[in-house]
Structure 1
């Protein structure tokens, strides 16, 4: 089994998610509609036990075969999640790993998501030995789409996903990031 290592950025530590993170997931994401509405897998209202059920599917599993999930921490405090799903999540780009993330509302607007996403992209390119990475965001999630664009992701297609929080299908923009574009952007920074 391949384990996840800790990733460090200028301000953050991204560590492998743990069962003990369930309460923080619930408080920052599951019970805050302003966060939950953008995450297709979150139910609204929050369903008791869903954080624990999710964690059981990823903690201790091979992250390259299921999902590599990192707790984003700031000074040891859990502030969100960044994850890379193994290839197969997106019908349009089935051979690519897919990145996803969310940050608790109190921690939004400080660049933490960009910092975490960049570290996870670096990890994903090295771990999956892939030439591209995919992501998707709700069409009306302009902040997330802007972050992905800043990282170098380019529009690829449109898809729909069922949003449990919104209880309907939602248009999603599928984007793709070529390794060369990511590396060129990092060198220019």
Structure 2
């Protein structure tokens, strides 16, 4: 089983115990405001999400990790890799992404998890390039992307919701662990 440990976090595959805590995160309008059209997700939708995350692991050999605090074992969200099928212009890319519960914002957890995922992607998984897609107004995610050393590459509108997005990228030759 694939796991990544950082000083404060465990990134791991999903378990049945993760459904309720992730559904609570997904039910928070502040957490979801930069995701798709900003709609919250209920328990059944979250169960479907976790099922898709696990299918991507099985099909692609990578996916979104459940992220828990090492100190308490509490699920705080997710971070990992996915294929951005929602964005046809980038559907051939591998995207890094993260989502944390609001009570875990501003403590460096997103940056810590994303850095670990990026290092795993480029060094262990052998990927040559990783992208991140952010809403133009999502300053917190833009900050994480900058900390990863990713460069803005292009701007476009979400094909369904019309919101402005920015695609950032980094390749193996630019990455500094």
TM-score by length of 1: 0.81
Higher relative contact order (CA 8 A, sep 6+): 1
Aligned-residue offset at 1:130: 2.2
Unaligned runs of 5+ in 2: none
Give the corresponding residue for 1:137: 134
Q: Return the match for 2:162 from 164, 169, 176.
A: 169
- For residues 52 and 166 of structure 2, the distance between their equivalents in structure 1, rounded to whole angstroms, comes to 26
Q: Matches of residues 93-108 of structure 1 in structure 2 within 5 Å?
A: 93-108=90-105
Give the corresponding residue for 1:40: 36
Aligned-residue offset at 1:100: 0.8
Measured on the aligned residues, the alpha-carbon RMSD in Å equals: 2.4
- For residues 43 and 5 of structure 1, the distance between their equivalents in structure 2, rounded to whole angstroms, comes to 31
Matched, 1:11 2:4: no
Aligned-residue offset at 1:146: 1.4
Unaligned runs of 5+ in 1: none
TM-score by length of 2: 0.86
Q: Between Structure 1 and Structure 2, how many residues are aligned?
A: 175
**1:96/1:130 contact within 8 Å kept:** no
Aligned-residue offset at 1:181: 2.1
Aligned-residue offset at 1:58: 2.6
**1:66/1:86 contact within 8 Å kept:** no
After superposition, the Cα gap between the structure-2 partners of 1:121 and 1:64, relative to the gap in structure 1 and judged at 3 Å, is: farther
After superposition, the Cα gap between the structure-2 partners of 1:113 and 1:63, relative to the gap in structure 1 and judged at 3 Å, is: farther
Q: Matches of residues 1-189 of structure 1 in structure 2 within 5 Å?
A: 4-28=1-25, 30-40=26-36, 43-44=39-40, 46-59=41-54, 62-63=57-58, 65=60, 68-74=63-69, 75=71, 76-86=73-83, 90-161=87-158, 168-183=161-176, 186=177
After superposition, the Cα gap between the structure-2 partners of 1:72 and 1:41, relative to the gap in structure 1 and judged at 3 Å, is: farther
- For residues 146 and 137 of structure 2, the distance between their equivalents in structure 1, rounded to whole angstroms, comes to 14
**136-145 or 154-163, larger mean C-alpha shift:** 154-163
2:141 is paired with a residue whose SS is helix
